[in-house]
């Protein structure tokens, strides 16, 4: 086992339940993780990442092992949400002094918030033709009709697009998004089915959001099939937006931008992996895979830096790492606690949607944990390859 610097290990009796890397962890978050760890579907200690915070059912920033079962709400409703980053051949000197046209250009080619392309893009139509959704669920027509128009769109909340500069003055394109409306719809229906199944079969649960399918249940394979499809949709969604973002940079510098490398990683997903000679489903809800050599993207908030990392393969964390800064305040609490003036001060030096500051207040950097502390807490999980400072930030607004 790779040596680890676990901040806290919690036991129930003689049973190890939770391993936490978080130096800043709310007690309700630990209690939720302990509740999740006691779920009959869970097959070993839960690993809490340094950005862990309370979530629906399972804690955001948790890695959950199951052997012959799956917990749909642990994967979450934004199936396949994750990060993509491209290192370009541009230096900071290639960017214009006025970054406003880049921000406006992103807004033109990447619909955000509740928006979607008015007409589905050819790339979306082609991808869906090659990767049709073959679900056993009965979906309403308005659910499937959005799949193509939303493929290549950002969404809202903490999803974002950034142009960043690393410590070598190299320019990176970065964005965060997931499986949009269709992923949410698939997840919600399967979560509901799991809840009903556990109720009908009188399976004991401390939290109904920990409802699960055993691999002998009819719903198990149906969920796995839809979940894997939604993960692929999310990955493709990021690919298409990244291509559009690089197009904006092409137009800005007046030549084709060369792509040096591309990193595209999920942080809300599950996959079958081998750990300690056991075949397990490893569900990462707000965590990235960090096996030896795995490249990952770990963002801070919209006013702090992000990181390109390589995994160290720490077995104690199921070869995982944090997915970002993690919220310190809920959205309503953030809007009560902070004001526009302090938000604008925190965003000084970046090109962003300043006119939308009041609307974006719940995404203020002060609403998130300290990303530098998060990275320090997980020094045994990942190695920092590059630190990215965003000079342009674009988010979904109403």
> In the prediction, which pLDDT does 1 show?
43
For the chain, the domains span: 8-328+368-393
Q: What is the C-alpha to C-alpha distance for residues 378 and 153, in angstroms, rounded to an integer?
A: 32
- What band does 3 get if pLDDT is binned at 50, 70 and 90? low
Q: What is the C-alpha to C-alpha distance for residues 199 and 184, in angstroms, rounded to an integer?
A: 22
Q: Which residues are catalytic?
A: 323
Both structure tokens of 97: 């002094």
Both structure tokens of 20: 């936490």
Pairing of strands 320-322, 82-91: unpaired
Residue-averaged pLDDT of the chain: 96
* Cα-based distances in Å from 334 to 81, 109, 203, 278, 340: 23, 30, 37, 42, 11
**For the structural domain made of 8-328+368-393, what CATH number should be given?**
3.90.1860.10
Give residue-wise pLDDT tens across range 78-136: 999 999 999 999 999 999 999 999 999 999 999 999 889 989 999 999 999 999 999 99
Select from 171, 170, 161, 131 the least CA-distant residue to 148: 131
pTM for this model (two decimals): 0.96
Select from 270, 257, 332 the least CA-distant residue to 86: 257
């Amino acid at each position: 086992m790779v040596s680890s610097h676990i901040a806290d290990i919690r036991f129930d009796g003689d049973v190890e339940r939770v391993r936490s890397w978080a130096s800043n962890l709310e007690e309700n978050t630990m209690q939720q993780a302990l509740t999740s760890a006691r779920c009959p579907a869970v097959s070993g200690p839960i690993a809490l990442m340094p950005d862990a915070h309370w979530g629906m059912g399972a804690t955001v920033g948790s890695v959950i092992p199951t052997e012959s079962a799956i917990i749909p709400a642990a994967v979450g409703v934004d199936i396949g949400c994750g990060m993509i980053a491209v290192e370009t051949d541009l230096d900071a000197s290639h960017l214009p002094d006025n970054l406003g046209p880049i921000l406006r250009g992103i807004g033109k080619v990447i619909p955000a918030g509740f928006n979607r392309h008015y007409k589905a893009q050819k790339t979306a139509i082609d991808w869906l033709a090659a990767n049709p959704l073959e679900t056993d669920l009965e979906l309403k027509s308005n659910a499937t009709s959005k799949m193509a128009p939303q493929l290549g769109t950002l969404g809202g909340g903490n999803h974002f697009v950034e142009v960043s500069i690393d410590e070598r003055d190299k320019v990176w394109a970065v964005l965060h998004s997931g499986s949009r409306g269709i992923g949410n719809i698939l997840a919600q229906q399967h979560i509901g089915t799991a809840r009903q199944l556990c109720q009908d079969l009188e399976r004991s649960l401390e939290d109904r959001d920990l409802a699960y399918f055993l691999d002998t249940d009819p719903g198990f394979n149906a969920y796995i099939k839809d979940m894997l499809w939604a993960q692929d949709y999310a990955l493709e969604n990021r690919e298409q937006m990244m291509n559009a973002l690089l197009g904006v940079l092409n137009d800005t510098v007046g030549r084709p931008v060369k792509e040096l490398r591309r990193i595209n990683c999920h942080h809300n997903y599950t996959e079958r992996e081998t750990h300690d000679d056991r075949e397990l489903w490893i569900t990462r809800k707000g965590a990235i895979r960090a096996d030896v050599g795995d490249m990952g993207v770990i963002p801070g908030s919209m006013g702090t830096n992000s990181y390109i990392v390589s995994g160290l393969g720490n077995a104690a964390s199921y070869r995982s790492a944090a997915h970002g800064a993690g919220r310190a305040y809920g959205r309503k609490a953030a809007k009560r606690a902070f004001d526009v003036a302090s938000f604008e001060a925190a965003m000084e030096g970046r090109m962003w949607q300043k006119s939308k500051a009041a609307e974006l207040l719940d995404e203020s950097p002060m609403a998130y944990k300290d990303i530098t502390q998060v990275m320090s807490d997980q020094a045994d999980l990942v190695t920092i390859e590059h630190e990215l400072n965003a000079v342009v930030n674009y988010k979904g607004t109403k």
